[in-house]
Chain A
Amino acid sequence: MPPLSASRISGDLVEYLADSKPHPARVHSLFTRAFNLKVADGCLVSGTNSRGYIAPMGFSFQSLQTSGWPFSLDQELILHPGGVCSASGELLIDFSNAAIWNPSLATIYLPLEQQERCLHLLTRILAGSQNGIFTPLLPGIFGEELPSDLPLHAAFIAPRVFSFFGHLANSEWQAAALDSEGLIGFGSGLTPSADDFLAAILGLYTALPLDVKENKAGFSLVAERILELAPARTSLVSAEMLRHAANGRLPSPHQSLLAALDSGSVFEVEEAARAVLNVGVNSGGDFLFGLLAGLVLMAEAKMVLCDQIKEIDQC
């Protein structure tokens, strides 16, 4: 069987493999359109053929197969700059033709009026979707009353979400860090809902420009606490997602959405938001909910970027 040919590879994985040493890995998890390889230092490397999707420390390929991966669960493998090999040296996945994808978020500049447009648009999209365990909590981030008949998971997590949100809004960073403890790992799925929510907030704050550095310093307390707790309180796949988000790296659809927010194009935002909603059953919705919460916090804190700062930052 010829090796699978990767079409894209993330820049951080290229960097990771750049020492040219063989990196032992083990097949950690297999799905219909993706798999995760756990390398010796505990990081996950993900491969997927889900069209348009690539994650940090990951690669994608265009083969349309949905099963019958060239390895089995727990199998020992070797990663090197040229691809993925079996323990006996047979090339299973070829990286040599892959284009490099940069997983890092660009700084986003959101003028106040654009923030409002994005808020309005994303709220409409999320409210109209069935995606997301947190979605029924949407009125709460606008200070409105929550429905009395909240679904089970939403009702359970609501007080914790809004305590966290309230502390962030008041720049009470220590309290928000403590609240995060009550969120990490909550929800069904491989990346639990609360982790998707937190990843959005982590990603958004990381992508914000200079004028919110003061807030960033405070927020870094929250981010550090999340990263400290995640390995023990959530799945490895999810802990890795949070680690990447805190370091300004998001999967391609999520990255595109943040870039679209900055583009000022309603069309692009809508298209990108719908692509995020297509990720998982609840994952996309919960990420969008987190992004909306972050945008509301930005609007309330008047985190408006002036042109001068933009110029400085671009220098």
Chain B
Amino acid sequence: MLGALIRKNAYYDSVTLMLISQDLKEQAGVQEVLVGMGTELNLDLVRNLEMFSPELEPVGPNDMFIAAKFDEQQTSFQAIETAFDELISKKSADSNGNYQPPTLKSALRQLPDANLVQISIPGQYASAEVEEALNAGLHVMLFSDNVPIEDELRLKKKAVEKGLLLMGPDCGTAIINGVPLCFANAVKRGKIGVVGASGTGTQEVTTLIDKLGEGLSQVIGTGGRDLSEAVGGLMMLQGFDALITDPETEVIVLISKPPAAAVAKKIYDRAKTSPKPVVIDFIGGDAQAIREAGAYPCLSFEDAAAKAVALLRGEPVQDQDSLRMADSALEELLTAELGRLQPEQTKLLGLYTGGTLADEAMKFLGQKTAIYSNIPLSPELALENMPAAGGHLILDLGEDQFTRGRAHPMIDPLTRSEFFSSRVDGQTAIVLLDLVLGYGSHADPAKAVVQSVLEARARLAREGKDLVVVASVTGTDQDPQDLGSSTRTLKQAGIIVMPSNAQAVRLVSRMMEKMHSGAENGA
């Protein structure tokens, strides 16, 4: 049986029409429904489906029509029309085409099944929003920083009581059920779960896991202060528990700068009872304590990724503690690169956008030589203590002191460009840097770096000097900026690109050793 109706000069947005069309098709006895504007071609389709009825004769292109084919034993066109009218009044009231709700409450009315909210507002207002979200039973990703630590503790306790995650404050990276939040990379889904208190460290580990051919189940951020004595690692533990119970997760990786001793103990105690293998990278944490907890300590983010993958595949777990380059190739590279430097060029300059990557570099290089920094390993190595004659320097350009009034250097490459201009001088031998790709990062950071390197080299060339630049790229081929394309751009400019920050640092370490021994021999 056929039926049709026309609504003269009636206009509904396409979201409404699609939802109604779908709902009508689900009504008992309805075999096919076409809803649309009464254009000639739409009527052609109606005819083609043998659904044209005389009621449609007067329809015009500015009229909306409904044509239905139905089983009259089960329904009537009158019932379809009534259903349409009911649906249209309902949908018009709560249409969610691309609605941007002004409050959390109105957002929840639009998406009643949502279970996570991302909050990114000035820190002084964030606590109230987080509280409302937790009260509504929502997990929270809190990108905002400058949230008082008392609020963080109170809200995290509430989250724990309710069995929810409160990722943050100052949480920059998470991937929940395959959905990247804030700064995250396009990684494969898989069976390795990560809880991270450091954003770029987490990005480095997750992208390296992707490069090794495995994927991530969940990536849970905690915010940088979570493992402090004051907060007590509440979210690290909550995230750890979540991954233990997550059926998709088979191996767990925990990432943080070294926690407060009491917090570390809680985490080790939890690791002892974990039914799943646990890899812990506390960037210089107590390896023996980690081993005693039955977990796997790490030498670097690269090592953490490799160990997680080995555990997942049931392969032997080995330390990744060397530079992966054949001796002959390394010697050739060192000779060629360092041979272009002048004797007075002896200094290392690290220009990092990722704070944890800078930290990793300093932990390794700092074992052999003094590295000054704005995030020093010890107070005497603070930037302001660097001798006038210069020294090796690694900077975290994402620290507040460099980003006031401008975006983070992962978003705005200008900060690093300025440091290239001001810090690369006639003593600089090696520049070590990172490129962090992924959602939220700058569209083409490689291009900006190349520009800075070319300018610095041109400047040094006037003094008959050159520069060695070593980089690592944190990213994947699926990232919007494309790892392969970014790497090619850097290499074409004569920049040495290593497969991880750890490898880049190890190469620089060998370069510095060779420069040092060359200087001694020369002396």
Contacts and interface: CB of A to CB of B under 8 A. Distances in A.
Given A190-B37, A238-B37, A283-B14, 20 more contacts: A28-B11, A66-B99, A156-B45, A184-B41, A185-B41, A185-B61, A188-B17, A188-B18, A188-B34, A189-B13, A232-B61, A234-B37, A235-B61, A237-B11, A266-B481, A267-B442, A267-B480, A267-B481, A280-B14, A281-B17
Contacts of B21: 188
Contacts of A28: 11
Nearest to A231: B61
Nearest to B41: A186
Interface string A265-277: 1111011000000
A189 B64 CA distance: 9
Contacts of B125: none
B41 A188 contact: no
A64 interface: yes
B458 interface: no
B62 A278 contact: no
A118 B481 CA distance: 13
Nearest to A73: B9
Interface in B438-458: 442-444
Contacts of A265: 443-444
A31 interface: yes
Contacts of B100: 51, 64
Contact of B13 (A153, A182, A190, A278): A190
Interface residues of B, number: 38
B45 A280 contact: no
Interface in B48-64: 48-49, 61-62
29 contacts: A28-B11, A30-B11, A64-B102, A67-B93, A152-B49, A153-B45, A156-B44, A184-B41, A185-B61, A187-B36, A187-B42, A188-B34, A189-B14, A190-B13, A190-B14, A233-B40, A233-B41, A235-B62, A236-B62, A237-B11, A265-B443, A266-B443, A267-B443, A267-B481, A279-B98, A280-B13, A280-B97, A281-B17, A282-B14
Closest 5 CB pairs of A and B: A185-B39, A267-B443, A189-B14, A186-B41, A29-B11
A185 B40 CA distance: 7
Contacts of A156: 44-45, 48
Interface of B: 11-15, 17-18, 21, 34-37, 39-42, 44-45, 48-49, 61-62, 92-93, 95, 97-102, 442-444, 480-482, 485
Nearest to B34: A188
Contacts of B39: 184-186, 192, 233-235
Contacts of A232: 61
Interface in A259-315: 265-268, 270-271, 278-283
A33 interface: yes
A176 interface: no
Contacts of A66: 95, 99
Contacts of B17: 188-189, 281
Contacts of A29: 11
Given A32-B97, A66-B99, A265-B443, A190 B41 contact: no
B398 to A, nearest CB: 20
A13 interface: no
B49 A31 contact: no
A266 B480 contact: yes
A188 B101 CA distance: 27
A183 interface: yes
Contacts of A191: 14
A102 B21 CA distance: 37
A90 B319 CA distance: 77
A50 interface: yes
Contact of B443 (A184, A188, A268, A278): A268
Q: For chain A, which range describes its interface: under 10, 10 to 19, 20 to 34, or 35 or more residues?
A: 35 or more
Contacts of A186: 39, 41-42, 44-45
Contacts of A271: 480
A202 interface: no
A266 B486 CA distance: 11
A190 B11 contact: yes
B89 to A, nearest CB: 12
A192 B37 contact: yes
A32 B11 CA distance: 11
A281 B14 contact: yes
A233 B93 CA distance: 30
Contacts of B49: 152
A126 to B, nearest CB: 16
A50 B98 CA distance: 7
A79 interface: no
Contacts of B11: 28-31, 36, 190, 235, 237
Contact of A32 (B13, B18, B40, B101): B13
A194 interface: yes
Interface in A109-147: none
A188 B35 contact: yes
B480 A278 contact: no
Nearest to B100: A51
Contacts of B97: 32-33, 50, 280-281
Nearest to A229: B40
B371 to A, nearest CB: 33
Contacts of B12: 31, 190
Nearest to B103: A64
B98 A188 contact: no
A32 B12 CA distance: 9
A189 B41 contact: no
Interface in A148-196: 152-153, 156-157, 182-192, 194
Contacts of B41: 157, 182-187, 192, 194, 233
A50 B481 CA distance: 28
Contacts of B14: 188-191, 280-283
Contacts of B93: 67
Contacts of B15: 280-281
B482 A266 contact: yes
Contacts of B442: 267
Nearest to A260: B443
Most buried by B among A32, A67, A238: A32
Given A190-B12, A236-B62, A267-B443, A32 B99 contact: yes
B98 A189 contact: no
Contacts of A280: 13-15, 97
Contacts of B35: 188
Contacts of A192: 36-37, 39, 41-42
Contacts of A34: 13
B6 to A, nearest CB: 14
A238 B14 CA distance: 13
A30 B39 CA distance: 20
Given A66-B99, A266-B443, A280-B97, A188 B42 contact: yes
A123 to B, nearest CB: 15
